[in-house]
Amino acid sequence: VHGRAYTDTDIFEEEMAKIFHRGWVYVGHAGEIPNPGDFRLTKIGRQSVIMVRDDDSQVQLFMNRCSHRANAVCQTERGNKTAFRCAYHGWTFRRNGELASVPYQDGYGASFRKEDFGLRKVPRMDLYRGFVFGSLSPAGITLDEHLGKAKEQIDLFVDQSPEGELEVRSGIHKYGYKANWKFQLENAMDGYHPNFVHQAFLRSIQKRTGIKVDTFSGDSIGLTRDFGNGNVMLDYRPNNAANREKMMAVLPTTAGGKAYEEALIARYGQERAEEILIAGGTHLLVFPNLILIGVQIRVVQPLSVDQTEVFLYPTLLKGVPQEMNIKRLRGHESFYGPAGSGAPDDLEMFERNQVGLS
């Protein structure tokens, strides 16, 4: 790969135009907006968009742009609104995007029709298992085609819940770094680096538990899998299959573990339940901006050729003992928090990469 792919602003502009402003981009999870009027302000590439649940409980995606003079109608990252009222001249839009009222409407004359001035919808929107995607292009492959084999991994991730549903209401852990967005994508699917970048973390586990964690050494049977369309998986399943019995023996000894296992078996049957327990915490990249790792939804937002923002959403499972969800959150924090023992080291690598390539 030529180094310019990470440093050239023209290439970055082309990525925005051809990838982020044309293809399918992950915008948010329906679990972030469970009730009518719940909204989330987010982005597709450079475009500001509002994801909102309307009065019929449908998820809607709108451009954050008043149909009068293009003011951004929403300024808050999240919340609940009965309507979106533009601050400039007071045009007010319903939660389904319809224009509800215009101050001094008579001034526009008889030809003015409110029906013609609703909020502009994102041209295409589709959901898979609660994951909401948008495309700024009215034409192109379907979301189903874009996801392809990645759907099986999303299923595993969501089916960790005995109710088949995620809760995404534990806040967002945000970080930024001064380097290209693609470093985060590559790193998340890179099985080569952990023994080096995360050496301190792996050693501390060994010290505490006596178990040598080394799923990444040269003779590891794990592998990186190409699903097409840019979608990638770091596949530990061969390792996990080799440790199946050990993994299944540990679960019932953890708080809430026995009840959780029983709930999964009741819902999915023994075989699928075991598959979920062993492989549910997947390691998946859905190109270009969604990563699922363990318990977390990770969203990558390029800002410029050498500036990136990343949002991590630790998820909870519906229908599991509370101890299980607490364990998910504590585990997430220990590796990914600002004082976590893993993620900050990766970010340092991205910035050193950018220095080298520049």
Nearer to ligand FES, 22 or 68 (CB): 68
Q: How far is the CB of 281 from Fe ion (least distance, A)?
A: 15
Site for ligand FES in 197-226 (CB under 6 A): none
Confirm if 308 and 347 have CB atoms less than 8 A apart.
no
Per CB under 5 A, 177 contacts Fe ion: no
Among 7, 71, 243, 341, binds ligand FES (CB under 6 A): 71
**Location of structure tokens 């679990």:** 31
Q: Which of Fe ion, ligand FES, none binds 192 (CB below 5-8 Å, type-dependent)?
A: none
**CA 172/CA 337 separation, integer angstroms:** 11
In the complex, minimum distance from the CB of residue 19 to ligand FES, in angstroms, rounded to a whole number: 30
Least gap, CB of 114 to ligand FES (angstroms)? 13
How many residues bind to ligand FES according to rule CB under 6 A? 9
Q: Residue type for 301, please?
A: Q
Query: Are 342 and 201 spatial neighbours (Cβ–Cβ below 8 Å)?
Result: yes
Contact 166, 249 (CB under 8 A): no
In terms of CB distance, is 167 or 190 closer to Fe ion?
A: 190
Contact stretch for Fe ion (CB under 5 A) within 256-264, 269-277, 289-297, 340-348: 340-348
- Pairwise CA distance, residues 133 & 20, whole Å: 11
**Binds ligand FES by CB under 6 A, chosen from 89, 244, 246, 330:** 89
Q: How far is the CB of 213 from Fe ion (least distance, A)?
A: 13
- For the record, the structure tokens of 12 come out as 């970055």
Strands (E), 154-248: 166-167, 173-177, 223-228, 231-235
Burial class (CB in 10 A: 0-12, 13-18, 19+), 172: middle
Please say which residue, 103 or 109, places its beta carbon nearer to ligand FES.
103
Residue 86 found at the interface with ligand FES (CB under 6 A): yes
Helix 270-279 to helix 150-158 angle (10° resolution) is 100
346: partner contacted, choices Fe ion, ligand FES, none (Cβ within 5-8 A by kind): Fe ion
Question: From the list 177, 240, 346, 354, which residue makes contact with Fe ion (rule: CB under 5 A)?
Answer: 346
**How far from each other are the two terminal CA atoms of the chain, in whole angstroms?**
14
38 binds Fe ion (CB under 5 A): no
Choose the binding region for ligand FES from 89-97, 130-138, 285-293, 348-356 (rule: CB under 6 A).
89-97
Minimum CB–partner distance for residue 291 and Fe ion (Å): 12
Q: How far are the Cα atoms of 44, 294, 298, 315 from residue 173, in angstroms, in the given order? A: 19, 15, 9, 12
68 versus 149: smaller Cβ distance to ligand FES: 68
Interface pattern 38-67 for ligand FES (x via CB under 6 A): ----------------------------x-
One DSSP character per residue, 273-312 reads: HHHHHHHSS-EEEETTTEEEETTEEEEEEEEETTEEEEEE
Helix, strand, coil in percent for the chain, rounding step 5: 35, 25, 40
Work out whether 293 is an interface residue with Fe ion (CB under 5 A): no
Residue 69 engages ligand FES in binding (rule: CB under 6 A): yes
Nearer to Fe ion, 235 or 346 (CB): 346
Report the distance separating Cα 79 and Cα 40, nearest Å. 7
Told to check if 88 binds ligand FES by CB under 6 A, we report yes
Residues that bind Fe ion (CB under 5 A): 346
- Which residues here bind ligand FES, judged by CB under 6 A? 66, 68-69, 71, 86, 88-91
